[in-house]
Structure 1
Amino acid sequence: RDKSTHILCYLDLDRFNVINNTCGHDAGDRLLQEVTSIFKVECDKGTIISHLNGDEFGFIFENCHRVAGLEKAKKIQQALRNFYFKCDENEFSITASIGAVEISKDSESQRELLSSVDSACFAAKEAGRDRIQLSHVDNKILKARQSAMEWVGRIKSLFDKDLVRLRCQKIAPLHPESGLRAHYEVLLVVKDEAGNPVSLEEFISAAELYNRITDIDQWVVGSVLDWLEDNQSKISHLDGLSVNISGNSMSDKLFMDNLYDRLTSGNFDPRFITFEVTETSAIDDIDYAIFFINKLKTTGCRFSLDDFGTGLSSYAYLRKLPVDYLKIDGVFVKNIDTSEDDMAVVHSISEIGHVMGKKIIAEFVSNEAVLKKISETDIEFGQGYAIEKPITLDQLLKK
């Protein structure tokens, strides 16, 4: 309402969960008390301090322009760097990521301000933590974050309005003489209220960012298993359906227990189901991934390691993971008709995968030239538009 300006900051302690996991929640609570004391010492009387949630704090620097506000934020950040938190025999350095936004008479709504400062803090973390990010419209990370935030409120609405549907795409044997049968990967298709296709990447990114991805996985898996109970006998000529599970869901014990119960009590054959997990999500916690896969495989289901070849130390981890299929990341497949380097990578993955007893799937077989090249290898399966475009589950019943 006047010409004064203020600075709103959102501070998130970096790796707070490490202290909680190492020293326990009592130590985490003590850390929050100690950093709060630091904030009170470093901030002047014109600063409003608020503990928002967990390791998150908010600050308003009143009657403060941008440059002075950033200096105050830097002062808080430096005070944290100078502080070492002691717990038992451990000593932890403390840093924070800070997002900042200017408040003036031209500022938009409270909702927009909070969205902007949250996105700025996220950008600070994405840039490597222990940083300050001032919100501005040209930052690509901020744009992506705000786009994701807009999706959060729409996810439930899209499900309620039946705008999230399932399709499937054929994973076909490349060598008919092998006697192998085709199976289909279940895919998610999302449309907006006007019937226009929605970017699945944005939809999934938003769900992961705001911890909604497990809800989506539960819906997809539940819908597929419900459909199988009614239709498995009609597609018995196939080798089953493949369903994706996110890394978030893999690390959720309740999700695992519920899925195990459903696989052991449903009116369908679990051997008809293959779960796809990405290489990066599997190696984030290799020991738990092995436990997760082994427990569910006792029901008869199978596992496929998706996007193989892009993670770190792929071969070292592969021998430990009890998966049945390797799906070579499409980045290595889509240009094998013109790239000798990509072809060499594909041959290498196929050879080592076979030595370890895995069947190999090449995805992104998008044209006839790639299909011809991949068919000349000993890779068992291919997937992509050159083989078959995605179809609905109802269309699958008619094939």
Structure 2
Amino acid sequence: MDSYKEHIWQALQELDTNALIFVDTEGVIRDINNGVTEILGYSIEDLIGRDIEILIPPAVKQAHKDLYAKYVKLRNNGEISQSKIIGAQRFFPENVNFPNHGQIRMAAIHKNQQELPISLTINEVRGEADLLIGFFAIIQNNSQQHQLQQTLSHQSSHDSLTGLMNWHEYDVKISALKNRRLAAGEEYQAAILYLDVDYFKTVNYFSRSCGDQAIKKIATWLLNSTRHGNNRDADAMINRFLADEFILYLPDTSLAGALSLARRLKTDFQTLNLRTTAQPYLTSLCIGIAPVTESTILHEAVTQASGACSVAKSKGRNKIVVAKAEDTSHLQLEPTIYNALSNKRLMLYAQKIVPLLPGNSGKNRISYEILSRMEDESGNMLPPPVFITAAEKLGMATKLDEYVIENTLAQLRKNPDHVSNLSRCSINLSGDSASSERMLSFIIEQIESTGIDPRKLCFELTETQQIHDSEAAMELVVQLREMGCKIAFDDFGIGYSNYQSFSRLPVDIVKIDGSYINKLLENPQARADVEGMIHSAKSRALEIVAEYVENEAIVVALKNLGVDYAQGYYYAKPVPLEDLMGGTITEG
């Protein structure tokens, strides 16, 4: 039997695909096979009689030596059972927890002093009386598998086109950096740049590959433009967020520093050719900037910077905008608005619209505009400019409008006596609603299901939001007017509602914004503007409503200017729609 063992060991010694090492209880290497030379580069003369720590990184040598001796002693004394690592295959390099030393990177060291990825299996060797006499180790070269694992890990955490970190890796790295700084008691400040390439679709005109090459070129340019020599900790961390949008995280950077870098990037980018020498293409950048503080969550800062970038694009491209604190305040209202719509905490109010000129009055007839008030979860009333602006930014303006239309018409249906005395009920439509292909069918469904005479309805286009789909808006306006509804331009003179609106959409009524009416008496420029609006409306045979009418002097001035109707606190404050329907109310 012993002769068989000698032959087996002889065969194992000649094997060079696996490194086999026998180490005694003193931690001294006593025997190796040819595989050690093939895999680790050491000869027999290099290792026999040497401590096993020759194969271990310097930082781990002493800790390993101490633990080795302790394990042998306790094991021979019967004080501990066999370690879990015995007989188990392990892979290195990896971080190993050494008592009193913490996490230390453990690896095999090749003779050339480079780390070598290996798999390691260890077993105890016992002699007479079952006494522990050493350990037998089997080592395999794991370089190929390790490289494959690294490649797969990189691919899962990086953008395949640019090699930049994807969002998950980006978030993890930045959070770890922030936590290290805070744990060390260091001051923490950073900034986010959100970059959007202007007119990038033009790059893709000839082929998709042109766009891919341009994205790669931009990524390389950003890396080179934000490096700080050998101090990689100061380098920007870059993420390709969307197709042609990039995020730069700037550590230890104030807003002033971020703005300085943004200006340099904006200027330099205009010289970056995104196509070829034969077919050059130069464009520009829009950049949004947001600060990152100790209390800032990364995605909140990115949202702020993205919002600022959108503002930059709306200002004509090739712009830089620094985010303001209120830029993301609307995000906090999203659940409040959703709950208010779901739980009927959006209350309908109405404010009378009163005729100013003879011939516009009707006995016992009433006109009003539907307004809304929102109650939050605590019962507090939110100012309309707050929740309406938030709804527009959150893309919820259409849901808000649908709620108001549905509930207003339902109230009218329940009060036929009131409807018989109703001249006109005006309901606001946001720019998003006017652009929505669904809104027209929704309004028609509500009118048909309630039986309300469409001639008693007016829809006011509130163009504080731009109408993005002019074709959908045109169809909505034309169809509603054909049904008998009136169409009004609300807040005329501000936002996107101006003289050009007349040529875009056919309307019946113009409502002059209150910011002009408030200054009518003391500001000659405001009066000239109002006179111009009235003249332009009258030349098109449009009715005119003045908003924010608050005193008799303004009423007299408006009558002299030929304004048809007035709306404001001088005549009536907004009241709950249900209260208004409680009896017949005469205008004036």
TM-score of the superposition, structure 1-length normalised? 0.80
Match status 1:259 vs 2:426: no
The one-letter code of the counterpart of 2:219 is F
Quick one: which of 72, 88, 94 aligns to 2:284? 94
Cα shift readout 1:202-248 (whole Å, capped 9, x = no counterpart): 22222222212122112222222222332344331121210011112
Quick one: which of 93, 102, 108 aligns to 2:295? 108
Mapped to 1, the partners of 2:499 and 2:195 lie a distance apart of 36
Mapped to 2, the partners of 1:377 and 1:357 lie a distance apart of 15
**Matched position secondary structure for 1:49:** strand
Greater mean deviation of Cα atoms: 188-197 or 381-390: 188-197
- Equivalent residue number for residue 247 of structure 2: 58
Match status 1:396 vs 2:584: no
Quick one: which of 97, 110, 119 aligns to 2:304? 119
**Matched position secondary structure for 1:58:** strand
* Equivalences for residues 1-399 of structure 1 within 5 A: 1-2=183-184, 3=186, 7=190, 9-15=192-198, 31=211, 34-43=214-223, 48-61=237-250, 65-66=253-254, 77=266, 80-84=269-273, 93-102=283-292, 107-110=294-297, 113-123=298-308, 125-126=310-311, 128=315, 130-131=318-319, 142-180=324-362, 181-278=365-462, 289-310=473-494, 314-315=498-499, 317-318=501-502, 321-339=505-523, 341-399=525-583
Give the gaps of 5 or more residues in structure 2. Answer: 1-182, 584-588
Question: Contact 2:288–2:321 at 8 Å: present in 1 too?
Answer: yes
Question: Contact 1:42–1:75 at 8 Å: present in 2 too?
Answer: no
The one-letter code of the counterpart of 1:174 is L
The one-letter code of the counterpart of 1:50 is N
Q: 1:5 to 1:78 in 2, by over 3 A?
A: farther
**Matched position secondary structure for 2:422:** coil
**Matched position secondary structure for 2:381:** coil
**Matched position secondary structure for 2:350:** strand
Question: Contact 2:463–2:497 at 8 Å: present in 1 too?
Answer: no
Mapped to 1, the partners of 2:209 and 2:192 lie a distance apart of 22
Mapped to 2, the partners of 1:76 and 1:36 lie a distance apart of 16
- Equivalent residue number for residue 27 of structure 2: none
Greater mean deviation of Cα atoms: 328-337 or 235-244: 328-337
Greater mean deviation of Cα atoms: 200-209 or 239-248: 200-209
**Matched position secondary structure for 1:245:** strand
After TM superposition, give the deviation of residue 38 of structure 1 in Å: 2.0
Greater mean deviation of Cα atoms: 45-54 or 234-243: 45-54
The one-letter code of the counterpart of 2:289 is G
**Matched position secondary structure for 1:307:** strand
**Matched position secondary structure for 2:338:** helix
Question: Contact 1:100–1:133 at 8 Å: present in 2 too?
Answer: no
Cα shift readout 1:268-318 (whole Å, capped 9, x = no counterpart): 222221000135657776665433311222222110111223468944542
Q: 1:123 to 1:98 in 2, by over 3 A?
A: closer
Mapped to 2, the partners of 1:32 and 1:381 lie a distance apart of 58
Mapped to 1, the partners of 2:413 and 2:207 lie a distance apart of 49
Mapped to 2, the partners of 1:291 and 1:28 lie a distance apart of 35
Mapped to 2, the partners of 1:277 and 1:262 lie a distance apart of 18
Greater mean deviation of Cα atoms: 215-224 or 149-158: 149-158
Mapped to 2, the partners of 1:28 and 1:227 lie a distance apart of 55
Mapped to 1, the partners of 2:265 and 2:257 lie a distance apart of 13
* Count of aligned pairs between the two proteins: 383
Cα shift readout 1:110-148 (whole Å, capped 9, x = no counterpart): 2xx4323432443355465545566xxxxxx51221322
Higher relative contact order (CA 8 A, sep 6+): 1
The one-letter code of the counterpart of 1:361 is V
Mapped to 2, the partners of 1:186 and 1:29 lie a distance apart of 53
Mapped to 1, the partners of 2:253 and 2:387 lie a distance apart of 37
**Matched position secondary structure for 1:122:** helix
TM-score of the superposition, structure 2-length normalised? 0.56
Q: 1:206 to 1:178 in 2, by over 3 A?
A: closer
Q: 1:154 to 1:354 in 2, by over 3 A?
A: same
**Matched position secondary structure for 1:364:** coil
After TM superposition, give the deviation of residue 387 of structure 1 in Å: 1.0
Question: Contact 2:546–2:563 at 8 Å: present in 1 too?
Answer: yes
Question: Contact 2:375–2:381 at 8 Å: present in 1 too?
Answer: yes
Question: Contact 2:436–2:473 at 8 Å: present in 1 too?
Answer: no
Mapped to 1, the partners of 2:280 and 2:243 lie a distance apart of 21
- Equivalent residue number for residue 136 of structure 2: none
After TM superposition, give the deviation of residue 79 of structure 1 in Å: 5.5
Q: 1:268 to 1:56 in 2, by over 3 A?
A: same
Identity score, percent: 26
**Matched position secondary structure for 1:244:** strand
The one-letter code of the counterpart of 1:99 is I
Give the gaps of 5 or more residues in structure 1. Answer: 135-140
Q: 1:160 to 1:49 in 2, by over 3 A?
A: same
Mapped to 2, the partners of 1:108 and 1:312 lie a distance apart of 37
Question: Contact 2:356–2:566 at 8 Å: present in 1 too?
Answer: yes
**Matched position secondary structure for 1:239:** strand
Q: 1:13 to 1:260 in 2, by over 3 A?
A: farther
The one-letter code of the counterpart of 1:39 is A
- Equivalent residue number for residue 138 of structure 1: none
Q: 1:312 to 1:40 in 2, by over 3 A?
A: closer
After TM superposition, give the deviation of residue 361 of structure 1 in Å: 0.9
Question: Contact 1:39–1:76 at 8 Å: present in 2 too?
Answer: no
The one-letter code of the counterpart of 2:443 is L
After TM superposition, give the deviation of residue 373 of structure 1 in Å: 2.8
Mapped to 1, the partners of 2:571 and 2:347 lie a distance apart of 22
After TM superposition, give the deviation of residue 362 of structure 1 in Å: 1.2
Question: Contact 1:10–1:56 at 8 Å: present in 2 too?
Answer: no
